[in-house]
Amino acid sequence: MSRRLVKPTWLIAGLLTGLLFAILAVPLGATTAPDSRAGRGFGPAYDAVHETILSGTIQEVVTRHELGSPAGMHLLVAGPQGTIDTHVGPFLSKAIKESLRTGTPVRIVGAMLSLHGKEYFLARQLTVDGHTVIIRSPRGIIVPCHGARAAKSRRTAKVETNGGTR
């Protein structure tokens, strides 16, 4: 009876050894991704290394999505470099959207992106009428809360940290 147990043990040990060699052999052919892939995610890549400030005047507010362009609102901003298509995303509050009119001066922190042969300025921070709105995180991820919902969640968090309402 002991002979029967020895054979399955050697068989299992052999299978586990083969599996170990197979696992170790797989990474040998793997390659690492190039370091130049800044800001990869679901949206366009944001390159924080090349972040700049754009100051200018709104020439046009574009709310209609064009095929091949980043989804969300765009501002055509006239500045010293000419007119630049600036992506401000889909999550601006109603109050901020209403303040974005032709002729309004803006200050935008962001980075350029070339997508499908066209240049876009991806806004990370937008200042209009003295209000600064964060559109993207420093890594380029779009921040979804800009308005009443964000203000409400901040008030709720403050109430909870103060021990609730009294």
| Encoded amino acid at 116, one letter | H
Residues 91-126 pLDDT 10s: 999 999 999 999 999 999 999 998 888 999 999 999
Averaged pLDDT, 65-78: 90
Please tell me whether residue 27 adopts helix, strand or coil conformation: helix
Residues 13-69 pLDDT 10s: 888 887 776 666 655 544 444 443 444 445 567 888 899 999 999 999 999 988 888
Q: How far is CA 48 from CA 105, 136, 163, in A?
A: 24, 11, 39
| Encoded amino acid at 86, one letter | T
Q: How far is CA 125 from CA 9, 14, 39, 57, 115, in A?
A: 64, 60, 16, 16, 20
Which of 38, 59, 52 lies closest to 109 in space, CA to CA? 52
Averaged pLDDT, 133-152: 73
Residue 6 reports pLDDT greater than 90: no
Q: What length is written for the chain?
A: 166
The first and second tokens of residue 39, run together, are 């800001």
pLDDT at res. 59: 97
18 vs 73 pLDDT, higher one: 73
pLDDT at res. 131: 92
pLDDT at res. 17: 83
Query: What are the beta bridge partners of residue 79?
Result: 82
- Secondary element (H or E) of residue 165: none
pLDDT at res. 79: 92
pLDDT at res. 65: 86
Which residues of the chain form beta strands (DSSP E)? 52-62, 73-79, 82-89, 105-115, 118-128, 131-134
CB 96 within 8 A of CB 147: yes
Averaged pLDDT, 69-94: 92
How far is the C-alpha of 50 from the C-alpha of 10, rounded, in Å? 60
How far is the C-alpha of 48 from the C-alpha of 51, rounded, in Å? 5
Say whether pTM exceeds 0.85: no
Question: Could you give the domains of the chain?
Answer: 48-160 (2.40.50.140)
